[in-house]
């Protein structure tokens, strides 16, 4: 209930209570006064009758008392005046008049007890006050009752019953109470109006404060109070207006400064308090996030942290992180739905879960990379035709692709995939996501450069494949992942048949061409999760994660056939070569990966011994 309604209700309630109380007191008082007056009238009338009857006895005209009683009943307001003789008088003087006989129960009780009786008889026609007064013999005074009556002192000689009409008193009481009621009502109305006039500034100020505060809660500080009085309410209004002006100016400036830092566009109906709080909290989280990223050791740790940020801070369940090559020729998937690409089963295209695999081979096929703009397929559904709805997700999905710049060009792309019904929410969250990615882009770029430098020491400069040093560094991680997933590994040790003859016949330059061709072919035949390593000279190593439909023997045979069909252009013609492959499994053929490589090498020796250009799988008999 509002304050004005409360004050009105209070004054009306107080006035009503006062009127009810006054009317009640007046009615009780008038009733008490009326009964007291009627009782006195009855006593007076009874005394008059007693004196008159006594005088009549003295003067010897007692027999004419009936006329006196008749005249007495003609008095205005006196309805009944009846005298009743007591037993002692009847025994001494006889029964008397007919009107003096037939006492009722009340009169008999008065004659017996000598106590007066009074009662009010309410009637719609004629309210009546009835009183019955006893005549008691006494020896005091003149004339002396005992002089005529042969009774002892205190004997009840008779009684008189008087009925008085209360109509006139009742009417007078009602008129008086009505006048008083009218006066009180006028006073109450005046009091209510006066009280409302006095409380009105407080009410208006309270209402104004409520309205201003309600706007302020929604981030609108334009509300002002219009009360200009010089009293306390005027001081409150002035102070509140100054406070709102201060908040409006300073909070708006702060919001715009913070929004500029975040590249966030403030709308006209933005709640400044909520938006500024969210932006400041985001900047604090970004600062902490950036510090954590800077302390990460490898680029993979950075990508994992970005993935956790998307999942934990923004509730993104499906996303991809792509890395664009420095020459802008191809794109590599580094993370999908929280999993690093090396942990994803399948061939090179399977790591591209939410996009067409064509972008992996043609960087320009990615719209976000090509344009350098955020691709919002929530706002414009068909803006990018490369999006691939994962068949494992039945709910219609949309995507937002965010390019991250490194040295002025797109270095990576973050693709968030969300249910289309949540699209509006993530469009609002997008500026906050952009802040995280923008603030970490320099760190990502630095760690990519360091990773590239480090990568050069872990790759074979001739073929571009990983070298033995890489295997030594990556081995612990590979085995830990294999044990965690309870998977099996296959190790393929491959050797180019009669490679020494190539060097001896054509020279080392042609030998290098053959090794490069082999490296290119091996990379094309395996999945992104498989490792291809130049182990030394013409010997290569493949380590793959086996599955029900993908075994080391199958891959070895696939590679052998591909090499057998391969024609290698060389100066002056083409060259064809074959490959011998030994296959062993981990942990079935050894508890240590080096032991497995050793037995796979034994299987390779067996393949060469059995005629070359073949695949041999290690058995314990070997």
pLDDT of residue 349: 45
Q: What percentage of the chain reaches a pLDDT higher than 70?
A: 91
Of 35 and 491, the one with more pLDDT:
491
The residue with tokens 């314990």 is 620
pLDDT of residue 202: 77
| C-alpha to C-alpha distance for 451 and 459, rounded to whole angstroms | 12
pLDDT at 130 over 80: yes
Of 35 and 509, the one with more pLDDT:
509
pLDDT of residue 428: 84
* Cα 234–Cα 238–Cα 243 angle in degrees, nearest 5: 145
- The pLDDT tens digits of the residues spanning 294-352 come to 888 888 888 899 999 999 989 999 999 999 988 888 888 889 888 887 544 434 445 67
- Averaging pLDDT over each range in 188-202, 217-231, 352-366, which range is the top one? 352-366
pLDDT of residue 345: 41
Return mean pLDDT, the chain.
Answer: 83
Average pLDDT of span 502-506? 91
Three-state DSSP class for residue 441 = helix
Estimate the crossing angle of helix 167-217 against helix 232-262, to 10 degrees.
Answer: 30
pLDDT-based confidence at residue 417 (cuts at 50, 70, 90): very high
Q: Are strands 539-545 and 78-85 parallel, antiparallel or unpaired?
A: unpaired
- The pLDDT tens digits of the residues spanning 164-179 come to 888 877 778 788 888 8
Q: Rounded to the nearest 5°, which phi and psi values hold at 337?
A: 50, 40
CA distances, 376 to each of 367, 417, 440 (Å): 11, 11, 21
pLDDT of residue 246: 82
For residue 136, list its beta bridge partners: 156
Average pLDDT of span 271-279? 73
- The pLDDT tens digits of the residues spanning 9-48 come to 777 787 778 878 877 887 788 778 878 888 888 888 888 8
Of 282 and 544, the one with more pLDDT:
544
pLDDT of residue 613: 95
Q: Which residues contact residue 212 at a Cβ distance below 8 angstroms, ignoring those fewer than 6 apart? A: 223, 224, 225, 240, 244
- The pLDDT tens digits of the residues spanning 521-542 come to 999 999 877 899 999 889 999 9
Domains, in order of start, for the chain: 3-172 (3.30.450.20), 218-295 (no CATH), 307-458 (3.30.450), 466-617 (3.30.70.270)
Q: Which of these, 249, 209, 203, 202, lies nearest to 225 by C-alpha position?
A: 209
Of 103 and 578, the one with more pLDDT:
578
């Amino acid at each position: 209930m509002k304050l004005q309604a409360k004050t009105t209700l209070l004054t009306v309630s107080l006035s009503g209570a006062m009127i009810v109380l006054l009317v009640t007191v007046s009615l009780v008082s008038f009733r008490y006064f009326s009964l007291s007056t009627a009782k006195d009238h009855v006593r007076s009338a009874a005394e008059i009758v007693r004196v008159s009857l006594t005088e009549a006895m003295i003067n010897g005209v007692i027999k004419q008392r009936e006329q006196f009683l008749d005249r007495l009943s003609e008095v205005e307001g006196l309805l009944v005046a009846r005298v009743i003789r007591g037993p002692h008088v009847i025994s001494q003087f006889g029964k008397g008049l007919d009107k003096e006989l037939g006492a009722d129960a009340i009169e008999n009780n008065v004659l017996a007890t000598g106590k007066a009786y009074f009662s009010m008889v309410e009637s719609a026609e004629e309210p009546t006050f009835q009183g019955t007064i006893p005549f008691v013999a006494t020896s005091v005074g003149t004339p002396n009752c005992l002089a005529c009556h042969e009774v002892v002192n205190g004997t009840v000689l008779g009684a008189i019953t008087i009925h008085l009409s209360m109509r006139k008193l009742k009417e007078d009481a009602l008129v008086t109470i009505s006048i008083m009621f009218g006066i009180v009502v006028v006073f109450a109305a005046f009091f209510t109006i006066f009280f409302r006039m006095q409380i009105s500034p407080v009410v208006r100020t309270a209402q104004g404060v409520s309205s201003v505060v309600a706007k302020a809660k929604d981030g609108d500080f334009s509300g002002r109070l219009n009360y200009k009085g010089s009293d306390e309410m005027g001081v409150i209004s002035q102070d509140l207006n100054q406070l709102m002006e201060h908040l409006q100016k300073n909070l708006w400036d702060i919001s715009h400064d913070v929004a500029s830092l975040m590249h966030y566009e403030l709308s006209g109906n933005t709640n400044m308090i909520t938006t500024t709080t969210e932006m400041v909290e985001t900047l604090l989280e970004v600062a902490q996030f950036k510090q954590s990223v800077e302390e990460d050791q490898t680029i993979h740790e950075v990508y994992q942290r970005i993935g956790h940020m998307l999942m934990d801070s923004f509730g993104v369940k499906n996303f991809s992180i792509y890395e664009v090559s420095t020459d802008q020729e191809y794109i590599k998937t580094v993370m999908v739905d929280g999993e690093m690409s090396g942990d994803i089963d399948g061939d090179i295209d399977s790591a591209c879960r939410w996009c067409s695999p064509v972008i992996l081979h043609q960087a320009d096929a990615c719209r976000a990379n090509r344009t350098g703009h955020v691709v919002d397929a929530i706002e414009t559904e068909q803006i990018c035709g490369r999006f691939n709805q994962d068949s494992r997700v039945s709910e219609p999905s949309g995507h937002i692709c965010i390019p991250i710049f490194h040295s002025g060009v797109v270095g990576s792309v973050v693709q968030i995939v969300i249910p289309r019904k949540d699209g509006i929410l993530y469009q609002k969250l997008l500026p906050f996501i952009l802040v995280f990615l923008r603030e970490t882009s320099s760190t990502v770029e630095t760690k990519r450069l360091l990773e590239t430098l480090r990568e050069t020491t872990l790759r074979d400069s001739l073929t571009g494949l990983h070298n033995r040093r890489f295997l030594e560094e990556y081995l612990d991680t590979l085995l830990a992942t294999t044990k965690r997933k309870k998977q099996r590994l296959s190790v393929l040790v491959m050797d180019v048949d009669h490679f020494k003859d190539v060097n001896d016949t054509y020279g080392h330059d042609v030998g290098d061409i053959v090794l490069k061709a082999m490296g290119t072919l091996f990379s094309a035949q395996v999945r992104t999760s498989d490792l291809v390593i130049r182990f030394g000279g013409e010997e290569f190593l493949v380590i793959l994660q086996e599955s029900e439909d993908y075994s080391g023997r199958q891959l070895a045979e696939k590679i052998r056939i591909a090499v057998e069909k391969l024609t290698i252009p060389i100066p002056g013609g083409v060259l064809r070569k074959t490959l011998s492959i030994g296959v062993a499994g981990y942990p079935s053929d050894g508890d240590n990966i080096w032991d497995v490589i050793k037995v796979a090498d034994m299987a390779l020796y067996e393949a060469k011994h059995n005629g070359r250009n073949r695949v041999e799988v290690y058995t314990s008999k070997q």
